[in-house]
Structure 1
Amino acid sequence: MRNRKGSTIVMTLIVFTVLMIFGISILNLMVNENKMSLYHQYKTQAYYIARAGAEAVEAAILEMDEEELEKLNEKLEDNNKVDVEEILIGEGKAKEELIKEDNVLTIKSIGEVKGVKNILSKIMKEELRKGKTKIDYAIFSSGDIKLGNGTIEGNIGTNHSVIVANGNPNLNGDIYLTEKGNLSAPDWWEKSWVKTHYIKSGKEIHYESIKFPSFPINNSNIDLIQGGSNQTTISTSKDYNKFEVNANTKIYIDNTKEDIILKIKQFNLNNGHIILLGNNKLTIYVENMVIGSGSTINYEGNQKNTNVFYYGASRLIISGNQKLFANLYINNSELELGGSGSIVGNVYSNGGNIFLSGNSDITKGLIYAPKTDINFTGSGKAYGAVIGKTVNISGGGKVVYDPNYVDNSIIGGESTEKILFKPSHYK
């Protein structure tokens, strides 16, 4: 027994050591299991944060208007990649990256929680979008824009060249050119102007001629000739051979119950006045027309309610204090707006040249004549926008862009732009 003294202590130490090793192993296993559990938890959270970030970016893209989408496309075309600011979501964050290849936009989203990351991709497909031709220029022409003097408030653009020939034009806006375009201007003017504005490059824009209806059949031999103190009220649509209003006489159009259509072979206003009584539309189809000094159509009325279609070949002259609160459609002839002549409304032309001179003006409207040369001389003014084949501004002419007065609803043709993205799937 004396030879076995101390064996119990040895056995105890051995057992204690084994138990300690076993305990440490279990503890390490538990710690590792806990770490793995937290890792998977954070990984899952990071996945949902990445997903939330991708969906937030997708929602923002879907809510973008055309201008914002164009800017995004420009950035993607320059670099094929756009970084988005970090999005904080709960205890984590999402880092977003937009990548565009061909017609596919990929939202690469990296979710992160406590250093654990998860990555996923959301695919958005680009689609062709067809819509009405956009007008966002004070002046746009397919050919030259010649700025001698005058003032332009808004951007100008052309498919070919912008020429500032002489004088000192005041351009408060940017210039948009295609690869074919160039700016020809005195150095002193260009240096002064470029301080606050820019020359930008873009794609060609093509504005189509409007679809002008054929002159409706009119076999009438009825003449309406009024003058002096005579007054007439027209309450139904009618055809006239000759329609003449003289000597400050008023013709009332009772359009309170229905739209009124007048088809007239020869329309003469010699200091005569056409007055609307209601809010329905008045449409006048005119084969030949002469508007004398002091004449008015729908004076101070809503110009949207009145449309005048002119089919004559001779130049239409509005240059003696005439006031037209109407949309004017010109099929073949030239238009001369001078003196104190005024059109409150749109002018659409498929015809010859347009001349604005004297103190004439077109207010609250659009001059839309993509196949026509437009010339501003004297103090001719336009408020809205001007679309022409060429545009020449000299003297004190003025063009002010105002989108509130630009109505492109009847313009023919459609523009096709790759600026619309549709949600698709996760990758």
Structure 2
Amino acid sequence: MLKNERGAALPIVFILSMALIILGASLFTVSLAQASRTVLQEKREQAFYIAKSGADAIASYIIDNYRVTTLTDTAITNLNNHYLNQDISFGDGFFRAKVSRNPSDPNVIVIESKGIIDNVSNRTTLTLGPDGPVINMTHAILSNGEIKVTGGFKVWNRGDVAAVKGIEGIGSSNLDGGDLQPRYTGEFPPEIPIPSDLDPRTTLTSPITRSANYGDYEGGGFEIRVSDGKDIHINFDKFKINGIINIRGSGTGAVHIYTNTIKSEGSFTINNLDRKVVILYAQSSIDLKGSFDLNGVLLYAPNSTLTQGEGSVSITGAMITSNLELSGGTVVHYDETIANFINAIRKFERYKWSDE
């Protein structure tokens, strides 16, 4: 009887032994699979961060070197073909990227980036967009109040003339193909705030080559010279001038001239000699009793009343004002590029990430 019981125990021992062997093998296999999955996940995370770093570096390059209006289709093609259409080494891996426009909004840029490390890949997408509204302006004169004209007046090159509160003294014969819009209800370009961190200066030395706050100014003109890719911001409070401001230089930065009030009893001229982006901002009032010539400048004064008591006004570009009272001779040569200088100063900023 005892022998039979001992014999019966052998299969059980064998089965238990095999079960333990199989269990051990299974646990070993699971451990290997888990380790493999862990390594794969780590590689995917590394590939993701490589892709993200690549997209972020491309975004920084675009933000530093382009504006919304200068990142043309040709520039995008050159970026893709000459720089991005290749394996770009990054750490222990590499990335490839592509820049394109959003089909539904051409001002939005899409950066697609793929990171690869040890044949494991991951992707991410970063979109860039303008740092403010982009509004196309077709107006030679756009008034937030009313326009009153009692002297000679002419707008050339199909520029529109519009006023929210009405227009007096201008007929269709005064416009060279543009539209007269006396009860304008359309869009205005957005207001641009004055930088609050400009260095204060008590003496203006010509040529001006960098940003500064000069307080009150009364004088006969000066030169602004753009020597690099940085914008120049120049702020005045009371601005009284009888002379010429010349703007020149080989740099690509925009020139912003801010004033609270402008007063001129002789002549006031701004010459944009090298076709920079130049915007003259006036916050409160513009009082003119002599000649006023803006050559290649956008006058941006949506809250200012411009009063021309005598003399003449000649503008190559466009103006945005509140109330406009013109009693001398006025000629505006509308230039679409200059009218849209606010669009031209728009830079890109990061909008959002989309991870795959």
Q: TM-score, normalised by structure 1?
A: 0.41
Structure number with the higher helix fraction is: 2
Query: Rg larger in 1 or in 2?
Result: 1
Greater relative CO (CA pairs within 8 A, separation 6+): 2
